[in-house]
């Protein structure tokens, strides 16, 4: 149980384009999902907290107009990287909580912006 | 005060040995302490977690020891195996019984278990 999926697992795009990443909780409902970014050999950096049906809460320093988050249902949250640039290249990971404080992570999405 | 400090940064253990990773925190409001295992190119997987009302929790070969007064907690991997080679992250959160608790991660420990 407690499986979280992400799609796509990797994506390559041209600079200036937008990329959408989906995060789904497959076997539980998640009123809250979290989006993280991870650079090579570094820890996870929380970008935003996403609550179903409401606006996401962004961490300090994260541009909300750059990283659009939508949590349309209890099992789906999306992260859209708008007008992507090479510095946005990273490993993006989502997590979902079934309501007990536990966070289950997705497999991650590797984004490369050329 | 929101930091979680993890050590060592890297660890090499012989097969069958005990791997020990330590974490320390300052915020006494933290009430949920999970450990995650991450393989290269994959998302973190929840290994084991503890709340401050107990001093130790064991699941298979993995044990968390928690010292509330010292504000420290550690992960012990008994009978370490080459398949345990991965990066391990400790974390802490406040309001850990609800959806709103944000996880504060340690810096990570890269474990290598030699055959």
Average the pLDDT over A91-106 and give the result: 91
Average the pLDDT over B85-105 and give the result: 82
Average the pLDDT over B79-96 and give the result: 92
pLDDT interval class at A102 (50, 70, 90): confident
Average the pLDDT over B76-102 and give the result: 86
DSSP bridge partners of B88:
B37, B109
Query: What's the full length of chain B, in residues?
Result: 115
- Flag whether pLDDT at B9 surpasses 90: yes
**Nearest neighbour of A100 by CB, restricted to B97, B105, B107:** B97
Average the pLDDT over A93-104 and give the result: 89
Taking the C-alpha atoms of residue B109 and residue B80, their distance in angstroms, rounded to an integer, is 15
- pLDDT at site B97: 53
- Flag whether pLDDT at B98 surpasses 70: no
| Backbone dihedral angles phi then psi of residue B23, each to the nearest 5 degrees | -140, 145
- pLDDT at site B100: 60
Average the pLDDT over B28-39 and give the result: 94
- pLDDT at site A99: 79
Beta-carbon count within 10 A of B43 CB? 23
Q: A103 with A84: CB under 8 angstroms?
A: no
Taking the C-alpha atoms of residue B105 and residue A43, their distance in angstroms, rounded to an integer, is 7
* Total structural domains within chain B: 1
- pLDDT at site B95: 64
- pLDDT at site A13: 95
Per-residue pLDDT tens digits for B39-68: 999 999 999 999 988 999 999 999 999 999
CB pairs under 8 A between A and B: 63
pLDDT interval class at B102 (50, 70, 90): confident
CATH number, domain of B110, equals 2.60.40.10
Q: B44 with A105: CB under 8 angstroms?
A: yes
Best of A43, A58, A90 to mutate (most B CBs within 10 Å, chain B): A43
Domain span including residue B93: 4-114
Q: If you write DSSP's letter for every residue of B86-100 in order, what string do you get?
A: EEEEEEEBSSTTSTT
Taking the C-alpha atoms of residue B49 and residue B61, their distance in angstroms, rounded to an integer, is 14
Is residue B48 less than 8 Å (CB to CB) from chain A? no
Angle (nearest 5°) at CA A102 between A99 and B40? 140
DSSP state, residue B27: -
**Nearest neighbour of B96 by CB, restricted to A4, A32, A101:** A101
Going by their DSSP bridges, the two strands B109-114 and B86-92 should be labelled as antiparallel
- pLDDT at site A52: 82
Per-residue pLDDT tens digits for B77-86: 999 999 999 9
- Tokens standing for residue B29: 């409001």
- pLDDT at site B13: 98
- Tokens standing for residue A83: 């007008």
């Amino acid at each position: 149980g407690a499986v979280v999926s992400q799609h796509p697992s990797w994506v390559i795009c041209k600079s200036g384009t937008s990329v959408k990443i989906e995060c789904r909780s497959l076997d539980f409902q998640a009123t809250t999902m979290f989006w993280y970014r991870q650079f090579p050999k570094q820890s996870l950096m929380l970008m935003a907290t996403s609550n179903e049906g409401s606006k996401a809460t962004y961490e300090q320093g994260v541009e909300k107009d750059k990283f659009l988050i939508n949590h349309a249902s209890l099992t789906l949250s999306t992260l859209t990287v708008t007008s992507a640039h090479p510095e946005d290249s990273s490993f993006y990971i989502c997590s979902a909580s079934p309501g007990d404080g536990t966070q289950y992570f997705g497999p991650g999405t590797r984004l490369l912006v050329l | 005060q929101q930091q979680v400090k993890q050590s060592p940064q890297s660890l090499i253990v012989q097969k069958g040995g005990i791997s020990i990773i330590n974490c320390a925190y300052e915020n006494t409001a933290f009430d949920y302490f999970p450990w995650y295992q991450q393989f290269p190119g994959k998302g973190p997987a929840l290994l084991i977690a503890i709340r401050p009302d107990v001093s130790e929790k064991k699941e298979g070969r993995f044990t968390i020891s928690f010292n509330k007064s010292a504000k420290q907690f550690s992960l012990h991997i008994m009978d370490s195996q080459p398949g345990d080679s991965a990066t391990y992250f400790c974390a802490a959160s406040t309001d850990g019984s609800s959806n709103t608790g944000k996880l504060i991660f340690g810096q990570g420990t890269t474990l290598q278990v030699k055959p």
